[in-house]
Each structure stands twice: as C-alpha cells, then as structure tokens.
A and B are shown apart, each in its own frame.
Chain A
Amino acid sequence: MADVTLMKTPAETALAQAYESAKTTLPGNVESRAEAFELFTRNGLPHRRVEEFKYTDLRALLREAAPFAGMPSADDAKAALQAAKALKGTQALEVPFVNGHFVRDAVDFHNLPEGIEIVPLAEALANGHDWLAKLSPVEWARQNPVYQLNTTFMADGVMLRVVGKVETPVHLRFVTSANSAVATATRILVLVEDEAAVTLIESHESPNGANHQPNDVLEMIAGDRSNVRHIRLNAEGDKALALSTLNAKVGAEAEFFSFNLVTGAATSRHQVFAILDGENTKARINGATMIKGGQHADSTLVVEHAAPHCESRELFKTVIDGESTGVFQGKIIVPHHAQKTDGRMMSAAILLSEGGAMNNKPELEIFADDVQCAHGATCGQLDEDLLFYLMARGIPRKEAESLMVQAFLGEAIEFVEDQDLHDALVAVVEDWLRARA
C-alpha cells in the first residue's frame, strides 16, 4: 500500500505546517530533521494497514495535531514541579522537564552525584557536541514513524553520561502543565560507560481534560559489564495521546532491566527497540498496564539478540476494565550467528469487564539453530475458582479481584529491586484498584 498516495489528513497537514514554521528556530542540525521528516511524509501517519500499527491506527487516533509547547516561565515551571505528584518522595536526583523543556534551574550542576554528567540537549544541538554522534543507535527506530516525528521536532532534553557505579537514582520527571492541548518532543540520550551502573526513573504526568500529545524518546547506549535499571511510569492525563520510544543498545556481559507501568493517557504507545550487542548479556523488559474507560494502550517491543549467549526475558501484564483496549506486540529476533540464545517472552491479559478487548501479537524470528526461544500469550478472566476460594474466606468480590490483580501485576513489578521504588509502583496499582472499587 506504500505506493498509494493517500490524501493528507488535517493532522498530517498541520504537522507539515508546524515543521515549515519551526524548522529555522529548532536547535541544531537541520539536515537530520529534514531527513526524518522526509521519511515521515513518505508514508504519513501510520494506519491499520501498516503492519506495526495494525492495532493502533494513529491516522485515526490523531485527528488534530496540537501546537508545540513553548518554554514555560520560571514561575510556571516552579509551580508545575511543586504540584507534580508522580513517584513523589523517591530519593533521586531530579532532572525535570515542564511542557517538554528542561528546567535547568532545578538542577544544581555543581553538585551532581559522582559519576553523573548532564548536558542540556538544546544547547548541545545548537553548539554541536561529540555525543550527538551516538544518537539513533538502533536502526529499527529510524524506520519508525513515531521516532521520525520525534527526530523532526525534538526541541529539548538532556544528554546524560554515567561513569562508575552511581548509587543515587536519576529521576527524569516530565510534567505537562498547560491546560490546553500542546505537543512536546523530548529526547534523552544516556551513555552508560563500561562497568557503570545506574537506576533511571522516568515519570510522565499531565492534567486531565487536555489533549496533550507528548512524544518522547530515550536512547541508551549501555557499555560492557554495565548494569542499567530503567523504571518508567505513564501517569498522563485522561485525554492525552502519549507516544514514547526506548532505544537501547547493550554491550557484553551487561545487565539491562526496563519496566514500564501504564495507567494514564487516552491513547498510549510505548515502543522498545533493544539490541543485545555483546555476548553473555542479560536483559529483562517488563511492562504492566492497567486501563479502563475507553483507554487504548499499546506496548510494542523488538528485541534483537545480535550476539551469541545472551538471555532475554520479556513479561507484559495487561489489566483491562471498562471498554478499554490493550495491545501487545513483541518480537524476538535471532540472527544466524547468535547461537545459544535464550529468549522467553510472555504476555498475559485479564479482561475485567464485558466491553474490553485485547490484541496480542508475540513473534519469533529465528535464524540460528542452537537456540531456546519461546513465547506465550494468554487472555481471559480472573480465575473463578480462585475468586471463590478467596470469597469463601470472607473477602468480598471486588476486594478479591483487587488481590488477584495485584498478584497478577506483581509478577511484572517484583523485578524492581529498589524497595522504595517498588512500593511506590505498587501504590500506583493500589490507587487504581481503589478508584475501581
């Protein structure tokens, strides 16, 4: 269908106009933006006949493109950060963004934890910086329209370098405070040097009622023997359309963990493109999604075992209430030379209500013969026998359901080792369940 020229939708036209008017003011290299935009315009917003967007038709879901948010005033930024709630109270170095712009006043550059370097992205783009060459480490992403849009419009972000074992987690806090719809495009580049270790937290929040359109990308290059724990929370407002991409290239003998918890946004799509690029690396990518009403949440995942002897585990749990729709698309790729790969992917969904829907597409693409790969997918209701057992002990139905949902999601959350962070995520789950009961 790619060779059929389709009429441009109003959103596509608006994006083209936004690019035309912003291209001279956006920081940095105009060429790479132009190239990304050219790639994007060739196919336009992806629709259901584009295989990767079969279940998330962005052409239909993104009717109007919101204007890109401007830089907030210092006072507005301060107020927005004070009002922020997501994962409040976790001990971490806060790196905050308001309306897609890095709030540099909030970071004390002179007293960063040892082993952490931060460079504002807008500045790096405008002045040129060595690390910029490391942007876009994953080819899969470059082909992706969501990523192309981010590359076209990325206005701000940070570059973060980690050397050695850093104890203090880094919390990238994204707050959209505008009350009318805005679009944002942030880019984070994280360079984790060989032997380095770090915990990265991302939280995304925005007010209910506004059709915000965040599109954020986090790119990571994790060195040999590094240890990265990445925990992300999507707590966007109820009308938001939130697109996000994690690109990770992981070196040898490393440990990589990424977890995404989704409760927010009317429509969300979180994409993970991970390449295990050195031998004996272990990766675990988990997700937990709880949606209700008319929400639509998509988790899309491509894990390429580019080197032999790597192990990957992917576990995605989805809880669907109301008339919401969950999507899981996961693919494990094992090229010819990646012998002794051990990859296991599981997607499990629970439908709590009549009107919900779940679409699962777990894929294996395997070219090496000496491998152990498996995937599984289940969807269904909560087990009636277990519910009866709990109720026979006096626990009311809703509470019994909550217990089981917690246990169900808990299997994906329990890999978050930091106890405070783990408890904070569990609290998010509990809040969601309380609101349901």
Chain B
Amino acid sequence: MPAVQETIDQVRSIDVDQYKYGFETEVEMEKAPKGLSEDVIRFISAKKGEPEWMLQWRLDAYKRWLTMREPNWARVSYDKVDYNDIYYYAAPKKNPAPKSLDEVDPEILKTYEKLGIPLREQEILAGVEPQNRVAVDAVFDSVSVATTFKEELKKAGVIFMPISEAIREYPDLVKQYLGSVVPVTDNFFATLNSAVFTDGSFVYIPPGVRCPMELSTYFRINEKNTGQFERTLIIADKGSYVSYLEGCTAPKRDENQLHAAVVELIALDDAEIKYSTVQNWYPGDSEGRGGIYNFVTKRGDCRGKNSVITWTQVETGSAITWKYPSCILRGDNSRGEFYSIAVSNGKQQVDSGTKMIHLGKNTTSRIISKGIAAGKSDNTYRGLVSAHRKATGARNFTNCDSLLIGNECGAHTVPYIESKNATAVFEHEATTSKISEDQMFYCQQRGLSEEEATALIVNGFVKDVLQQLPMEFAVEAQKLISISLEGSVG
C-alpha cells in the first residue's frame, strides 16, 4: 500500500508542463481575415488555385454547416469555440508553395529539425537502411511545406502529395473519392472541415503495388488563434498495401486551438491500409489552461472484398479529444482493426473509440483499447459494433481495459453492440482496475523502484497495442507515454 500511496501523491503533484514541443517559430505569416464567411472560403480556394467544382463543394458544405449544431453527446466539457474568432488560413508569407526544399523558409526547416523530423532527403538517407525510409509530408498550419521522396515514390506509381496539389493534378481521382467515406454532411466538425480544409495528404497506391516505404505526415500548428483543418485521403487500389503514419505537435499557449481534421481511407479488393497516429498536440497546463481541441473524423471504407484497414493510435496530447477512427466493412471477408492507447493526465478529457460497421459477409473486426487516466483527467472509451441484416458470419472481439492512477480521475466505458444477424458473433469484455499491489510488490521485491515498477506494468498494460506500431514509432510512443505520465511513471 505505501508504494501505491506514494505514487498517487506524486500524481497529485504532477505538472503537465513538461511538454517538449511547446516552442514557437517566428515566421511571417499570411492569413485570411479572421472569422468564417463565404468570402473566407473563396479566399482559401483561390489561394489553393482550386477549380470551380471544389469551391462549390466547399460552399455547399458551409451552407449546410450553418444549419448544424455542435454535438454534445461526448463526455467532454469545454468552453464553446467562437468560430468567428479563428483564422482559417495561415501560411508562411515567404513562398507558400515551395518547389523544392531550397525555397522553404530556413526557420521552418529548423522547426522540423527541432521536432526530430529531417526533411532533406540526404539527411534522412544518411545511415538509414532503404527499407526503413519514411517519406514525409510536412504540414505547417494551413499548408504543406515539403514532401519528401516524391520522385522515388512516383517510380513505383505511388502518388503522395499535398491534397491541394492533388486537386489540381488528379482532379478525377479526388472527385471520385473525396467525401465518399465521410460525406460532407456527416457531422458538425466534418462539415466545417469540408468547407475550410486547407491542406493534408493525398495518397494513391495503384493496383498490386506494395508501397516501397512508410508514408507519413507531420502536422504542426504554429500560428496563434489558428485552426488547423487538414484533410487526408488515402486510396489503396486492388491488391495494394500501404502503411501511413501521422504525428502532431503544437506550441504551448494559454488559448485553446481547434484542430478539426477529416481522414478518409478507401481499400479496394484485397488491399490493405495501416494507419497509425501518434497524437501529441499540446495538452494544456496542469490547470487546464490552453491546449488543442482535437475534434477529428477518421473513417475507413473496406470497399473491396478481402480488404483490411487497421487503425492504431497513441493519444497522449490535446486538451479535448473527440475521435472515433472507424471501419465500414462493406466488402465480403473484409477486416477492420482498431488498436488504441489513450493516456490522459492533468485536466485532459478524452472521448475516443471506434465504430465497426459490419455490412458484408464474413467480415471480422477486432478492437483493443487501453485507457490510462491520471491526474484530474477523464478518459472515455466509446465504441460501436454493429452487424446489419446481411452481415452473415460477422465476428467481433472487443477488449477495452482502463487503468486509473490516482483518485481524482475518471475512466468510463460506453460500448454499443448491435446485432441484426443471428450468425454474427460478438464478444466484448472490459475491465477497470488499478495497478495491483501484488504486482508492485513483486517487482519491488526483485529490486525495481516504484517508478520503474509502475512504468514496467503500464508498458505491459499497453503492449498489445504498441506491437501494432512500426518499430521506430513504437519506441517513440513508449517514451511519449512515460513522459505523459511523468510523476506517476519513472
């Protein structure tokens, strides 16, 4: 008991202010006028050099959005966002659309270096085995500032570029798939995103191609009072494979900043998409001041037979998280997976989970969710598993476990399990517990300090999920979890 008591004491004294990525970059920015209006949308569309159909799409979304209400069913409470007090577009003034890295503002390059994301290919190549290479699309506030390995990917037939570029260069592909998974009218935040999205990544993997390297996007919010509204669209054509990663950070500020992204994944017959997120937006300080509102709509459509979509997320940042990466299992024999670690500390509020919608025959899904609540945070798992009439032979296994560290936090589990097919078999199990005193004692008896023991046990708790991440990111994620729980974990 004393060991645990001490851990709790440490959690009580915890300060979230150990966020490593809270620095700010001084760059001259060009912004749209503050607030949201048709003019602002026209401004964004013009800046991006978009065709008329895209502008129309945005304006339709905006009209729709004006009639919608902000959702209030999630277990989060926050000061309402004033949508007219945000800049919807902010781009570095100096050459907002650089042709090569030489044209990118050196301050921005430095920023990414500081974040540990080198953008110069020669720097990446130094000492890295070819199979371990990662292509990066770097998004700075509202624009993509650099995309690496574009040429090499092109040789394999893979399209990897900022979505604003894709709209111009591959309008047919974009038209065919954009909004086909997350309809424009899907929800308040997705509709807002449809009206004002600024940048994000576009990926197309042609039939039968195994993408030769990991793709990733690194999102950075830098400018004050700016919202980030990125849009990502990934299409894996028949028999192809891609693994995609995203990372996110933002400076420390006392104001809350809005991040409302939409991610759409489409997997055709026999294709596989692995989408991993390490989300480390600024979480706010220990008093709950500042931090990112992370209101994100992510959805994958297993459109083809035998297709597979895997979501893996490590969520440690953001003041408020509202995020449910989901799979629509439309193709027969398709598979959806969701692996999640959500760590909350300080006054963070997390409401996250997934939806597995079984439509096709013999579709399978698997959900493993690990929530760790510390400090004064609230951590909710919310999930839906449903089988429709025709989903013969559907299978789901769900396991969601929560761990509480300290006595001022909350852990909640809200699953919805709906079956309309007698042959569907759904199994759901959830537990909430604390680190067992027996385990602690055993570790300490073997010579581990209580911090080490706690870290060890927490790592064991999240192991099933960490295993799903590509190696380098697993190591990074593990460190991130430790930092997020610092004070309670050594």
Is any CB of A less than 8 Å from a CB of B in the complex?
yes
Residue ranges of A at the interface with B (Cβ–Cβ < 8 Å): 51, 336, 339, 349, 351-354, 356-381
**Assuming A336-B407, A378-B427, is B433 touching A372 (CB within 8 A)?**
yes
Distance in angstroms from B316 CB to nearest chain A CB is 20
Is A373 within 8 A of B428, CB to CB?
Answer: no
Given that A361-B416, A377-B415, A379-B417 are contacting pairs, would A369 and B434 also be in contact in the complex, using a CB cutoff of 8 Å?
A: yes
Query: Is B78 located at the chain interface by the 8 A CB criterion?
Result: no
| 6 pairs, A vs B, C-beta closer than 8 Å | A365-B410, A366-B412, A369-B404, A369-B405, A371-B432, A376-B428
With A373-B431, A379-B425 as known contacts, state yes or no: A360 contacts B412, CB within 8 Å.
Answer: no
Residues in chain A near residue B427, CB distance under 8 A: 376-378
A376→B405 contact, CB < 8 A = no
Residues of B within 8 A of A376 (CB): 427-430
B419 with A367: CB separation less than 8 A: no
Task: Decide if A362 touches B428 in the complex (CB within 8 Å).
Answer: yes
Residues of B within 8 A of A (CB): 8, 73, 402, 404-434
CA distance A365 to B379 in the complex (A): 10
Q: Point out the residues of chain B lying under 8 angstroms from A367, CB to CB.
A: 407, 409-410
Judging by beta carbons under 8 Å apart, are B419 and A368 in contact?
no
Residues in B whose Cβ lies below 8 Å from that of A361:
414-417
* A328 CB to nearest chain B CB (Å): 9
- Using Cβ atoms and an 8 Å threshold, which residues of chain A touch B431? 372-374
> Which single residue of chain A is at the shortest CB-CB distance from B417?
A360
Bound complex: CA of A286 vs CA of B154, how far in Å?
Answer: 62
- By the criterion CB–CB under 8 Å, are B430 and A336 in contact? no
* Shortest Cβ distance from residue B416 to the other chain A in the assembled complex, whole angstroms: 5
| Cβ distance B399 to chain A, nearest Cβ, rounded Å | 10
Known: A357-B419, A378-B425. 17 other contacts (CB 8 A): A351-B421, A356-B420, A358-B419, A360-B428, A361-B414, A363-B412, A364-B402, A364-B412, A364-B432, A366-B412, A368-B407, A369-B434, A371-B432, A371-B433, A372-B433, A376-B429, A380-B425
For A356, give its contact among B422, B425, B432 (CB under 8 Å): B422
Asked if A381 meets B408 with Cβ closer than 8 Å, knowing A373-B432, A374-B431, the reply is: no
The answer to whether A369 and B426 touch across the interface, beta carbons within 8 angstroms, is: no
Chain B residues lying within 8 Å of A379, measured Cβ to Cβ, are 417, 419, 424-426
- Report the bound CA distance from A232 to B426 in whole Å: 29
Q: In the complex, what's the smallest C-beta–C-beta distance from A354 to chain B, in angstroms? A: 6
B417 and A359 contacting across the interface, CB-CB below 8 Å: yes
**In the complex, chain B residues whose CB is within 8 Å of the CB of A353:** 422
Q: Is the CB of B432 within 8 A of A374?
A: yes
Give the complex CA separation of A354 and B402 in angstroms: 35
C-alpha spacing A357/B388, complex, angstroms: 9
**Residue of B with least CB distance to A374:** B431
Contact among A339, A352, A366 for B422, CB-based, below 8 A: A352
Q: Is the CB of A365 within 8 A of B412?
A: yes
Question: A374, B429: Cβ atoms under 8 Å?
Answer: yes
Whether A378 touches B410, Cβ cut-off 8 Å, given contacts A359-B418, A366-B404, is: no
- Chain A hits for B426, CB < 8 A: 360, 377-380
Task: Report the bound CA distance from A380 to B423 in whole Å.
Answer: 6
Taking a contact as CB atoms under 8 Å apart, the answer to whether B413 and A381 are in contact is no
> How far apart are B70's CB and chain A's nearest CB, in angstroms?
12
Q: How far is the CA of A356 from the CA of B420 in the complex (A)?
A: 6
Task: Across the A-B interface, give the 3 residue pairs with the lowest CB-CB distance, nearest first.
Answer: A380-B425, A351-B422, A369-B404
The answer to whether A377 and B414 touch across the interface, beta carbons within 8 angstroms, is no
State whether A364 touches B411 (Cβ < 8 A): yes
B420, closest chain A residue (CB): A357
CB of B163, distance to nearest CB on chain A (Å): 34
Tell me which residues across on chain A come within 8 A of B424, comparing CB atoms.
379-380
Residue numbers in B under 8 Å from A375 (CB-CB):
413, 428-430
The residues of B that contact A336 with a CB separation of less than 8 Å are: 407-408
Chain B residues with Cβ below 8 Å from A349 are 419
**CB-defined contacts of B416 to chain A, threshold 8 Å:** 359-361
Determine the residue in chain A with the shortest Cβ distance to B4.
A370
By a CB distance below 8 angstroms, the chain B residues around A362 are 413, 415, 428, 430
Residues of A within 8 A of B434 (CB): 369-371
- CA gap between A281 and B252 in the complex, in Å: 48
Q: Kindly provide the distance from the CB of A311 to the nearest chain B CB, expressed in whole angstroms.
A: 15
Residue of B nearest to A49 (CB): B73
Residue of A nearest to B430 (CB): A375
The answer for the CA separation of A377 and B384 in the assembled complex, in Å, is: 13
Residues from chain A with a CB closer than 8 A to the CB of B430 are 362, 364, 374-376
Q: How far is the CA of A133 from the CA of B287 in the complex (A)?
A: 43
Q: How distant is B355 from chain A, measured CB to nearest CB, in Å?
A: 14
Q: Which residues of B contact A357 (CB under 8 A)?
A: 418-420
CB proximity of B45 to chain A, nearest CB, Å: 33
Q: Closest approach, in angstroms, between the C-beta of B389 and any C-beta of chain A?
A: 8
Question: Which residues of chain B come closer than 8 Å to A363, judged between CB atoms?
Answer: 412-415
One of A356, A360, A366, A370 near B411 (C-beta < 8 A)? A366
Q: Which chain B residue has the least Cβ–Cβ distance from A364?
A: B413
**Is the pair A373, B419 in contact by a Cβ cutoff of 8 Å?**
no
Cβ–Cβ < 8 Å partners of B414 in chain A: 361, 363
Report Cα–Cα, A51/B402, bound state, in Å: 23
Complex contact A381–B428 (CB within 8 A):
no
Min CB–CB distance B357 → chain A (angstroms): 14
A354 near B404 (CB under 8 angstroms)? no
Q: Which residues of A contact B410 (CB under 8 A)?
A: 365-367
Query: Looking across the interface, which residue of chain B has its beta carbon closest to that of A358?
Result: B419
Q: What residues of chain A lie closer than 8 Å to B405, measured between beta carbons?
A: 369
Please tell me if the beta carbons of B407 and A369 are within 8 angstroms of each other in the complex.
yes
A137 to chain B minimum Cβ distance, whole angstroms, is 25
Write out the residue numbers on chain A whose beta carbons fall within 8 Å of the beta carbon of B425. 378-381
Which of A336, A349, A369, A375 has the largest number of chain B CB atoms within 10 A?
A369
How far is A375 from B413 in the complex, measured between Cα atoms in Å? 9
A351–B426 CA distance with the chains assembled, in angstroms: 12
* Contact of B406 (CB < 8 Å), options: A51, A366, A369: A369
User: Which residues of B sit under 8 angstroms from A371, Cβ to Cβ?
Assistant: 404, 432-434
Residues of B within 8 A of A373 (CB): 431-433
**Which residues of A are found within 8 Å of B420, using beta-carbon distances?**
356-357
Residue of A nearest to B418 (CB): A359
Contacts of B406 in A (CB 8 A): 369
CB distance from A27 to the nearest CB of B (A): 40
Q: Could you tell me the distance between the alpha carbons of A358 and B434 in the complex, rounded to whole angstroms?
A: 32
Known: A363-B412, A369-B404, A372-B433. A358 touches B418 (CB 8 A): yes
* Chain A residues whose CB sits within 8 angstroms of the CB of B422 once the complex forms: 351-354, 356, 380-381
Q: How far is the CB of B432 from chain A (nearest CB, A)?
A: 5
Q: Once bound together, how far apart are the Cα atoms of A366 and B426, in whole Å?
A: 24
Residues of A within 8 A of B407 (CB): 336, 339, 367-370
**Complex Cα spacing A370 to B407, Å:** 8
Q: How far is the CA of A377 from the CA of B418 in the complex (A)?
A: 11
Residues on B with beta carbons closer than 8 Å to the beta carbon of A370: 407, 434
